[in-house]
Amino acid sequence: MRTIRVGSRKSTLALTQSGLVIESLSNKSDRFSFAVQHIVTKGDRILDVTLSKVGGKGLFVKEIERALLDGEIDFAVHSMKDMPAELPEGLEIASIPLREDPHDVLLSQGHKRLEELTPGAVVGTSSLRRAAQILNVRPDLNIRSLRGNVDTRIGRLKSGDFDAIVLAAAGMKRLGVSEKGENLPFNRVLPAVGQGALAIECRSSDDELKALLNTINHDETAVTVRAERSFLKRLNGGCQVPIAAFCERGNDGILTLSGLVASVDGTKILKTVRSGNQPDALGTLAAEDLLAQGAGEILSDLGIESDPDAR
Ligand SMILES: NCc1[nH]cc(CCC(=O)O)c1CC(=O)O
């Protein structure tokens, strides 16, 4: 029997996600046992600055990838939206299980909807993507930085520090958070690339483990997320850029991707909707739509390099 070492951040969400994956793998084979190893990442250590100011992509994944490459752990479960567009040589996303609800949720004092918030209300989020899209429809709102795990953030809403906060539905559902909120529709707030999906990362050379992980891969999730990540890659963005995308596969098998790039203040929002069969080509095409509309200038205004020749 092989013991598989699973690297996980220590947050409740990370441990819950790792636990869910281990449980479904245990149901597939009894030739393996699993041991969880805690890893502290840069994103966990730096809590006092807005994530976009910390800089660098993949704040939550770098240390975990080093542990994978050094052979200290065998696989890791990440939130897909925390994954940079490109992985280090020698590692791969071997499995993408069924996606959870990809929406963002507005939780507010008195259960007000986004449209009903008092003018000037204080909304907590550290996501430039959420801030930009909310400001686009409600430029009067005051966006304030709010970091920390899901429980901390809900605590800051309850204590009255904020009139509203925005969280991913997926995280709330996986943690069993019972608070009721408004599911923000995609035409108001389009989710982060990969939101709601998990990425199971391992060494490309570990064929035995890859075969096991493949048993919990969900084809539709994997294909749609692949299109979203191809879009992200063409725009050369990380989680600290107001980039959003969501791809669906229709009953006819056709993929439809909605993508967006916004200025941080929400005054400029470029959008595209494209359909196709091939996820990589579709993501690239949608990104090139936005580049043709001027997305390059928006991204470079942020001081983030957007190399039009990067593939
Ligand atoms: N940014 C942190 C993070 N990374 C993944 C999730 C939730 C799970 C998901 O979106 O897949 C969250 C919390 C949140 O955004 O509220």
- The model's pLDDT over 187-201, given as tens digits with 9 standing for 90+, comes to 999 999 999 999 999
The residue whose C-alpha atom lies closest to atom 4 belonging to ligand 1 is 79
Flag the least confident range among 16-20, 288-292, 302-306. 302-306
Taking the domains of the chain in order of start, what are their residue ranges? 2-97+197-217, 104-184, 226-301
72 alpha carbon to ligand 1 midpoint, in Å?
Answer: 26
Architecture of domain 226-301 in this structure: 2-Layer Sandwich (3.30)
Residue 196 beta carbon below 6 angstroms from any ligand 1 atom: yes
Q: What confidence tens digit (pLDDT) does each residue in 244-294 have?
A: 999 999 999 999 999 999 999 999 999 999 999 999 999 999 999 999 999
Distance (Å, whole) CA 198 – CA 225: 10
Residue 195 beta carbon below 6 angstroms from any ligand 1 atom: yes
Distance (Å, whole) CA 130 – CA 264: 9
Looking at the DSSP bridge assignments, the partners of residue 202 are 75, 92
- CB-based contacts of 232, cutoff 8 Å, min separation 6: 85, 193, 243, 245, 283, 287
Looking at the DSSP bridge assignments, the partners of residue 200 are 77, 95
The residue whose C-alpha atom lies closest to atom 1 belonging to ligand 1 is 82
79 alpha carbon to ligand 1 midpoint, in Å?
Answer: 7
Q: What confidence tens digit (pLDDT) does each residue in 114-129 have?
A: 999 999 999 999 899 9
- Is 44 a residue of the active site? no
82 alpha carbon to ligand 1 midpoint, in Å?
Answer: 8
**Mutational test site, ligand 1, from 9, 13, 17, max ligand atoms within 8 Å of CB:** 13
- 59 pLDDT band, cuts 50/70/90, is confident
Catalytic residue among 82, 104, 163, 206, which? 82
User: For the whole model, what pTM was predicted?
Assistant: 0.92
Percent of the chain with pLDDT over 70: 91
Let me know if the fold of 2-97+197-217 is the same as that of 226-301.
no
Architecture of domain 104-184 in this structure: 3-Layer(aba) Sandwich (3.40)
- CB-based contacts of 169, cutoff 8 Å, min separation 6: 100, 101, 102, 103, 104, 105, 183, 196
52 alpha carbon to ligand 1 midpoint, in Å?
Answer: 15
pLDDT at 205 over 90: yes
Exposure letters 191-223 (e unless 16+ CB within 10 A, then b)? bbbbbbbbbbbbbeebeebbebbeebebeebbb
What angle, 0 to 180 degrees and rounded to 10, lies between the N-to-C axes of helices 219-235 and 279-292? 30
Atom from ligand 1 closest to the CA of residue 17: 8
Residue 199 beta carbon below 6 angstroms from any ligand 1 atom: no
Q: What confidence tens digit (pLDDT) does each residue in 21-57 have?
A: 999 999 999 999 999 999 987 777 766 555 555 555 6
Distance (Å, whole) CA 42 – CA 165: 24
- CB-based contacts of 272, cutoff 8 Å, min separation 6: 258, 259, 260, 286, 289, 290, 293
Task: Write down the pLDDT at residue 214.
Answer: 98
| Mean pLDDT calculated for residue range 179-186 | 97
Task: Write down the pLDDT at residue 40.
Answer: 86
Q: What confidence tens digit (pLDDT) does each residue in 222-251 have?
A: 999 999 999 999 997 554 569 999 999 999
| Mean pLDDT calculated for residue range 98-119 | 98
2-97+197-217 folds as D-Maltodextrin-Binding Protein; domain 2 (3.40.190)
What torsion, rounded to 10 degrees, do the Cα atoms 221, 68, 14, 237 define? -60
**Mutational test site, ligand 1, from 61, 81, 183, 225, max ligand atoms within 8 Å of CB:** 81
CA gyration radius, the chain: 19
Residue 170 beta carbon below 6 angstroms from any ligand 1 atom: yes
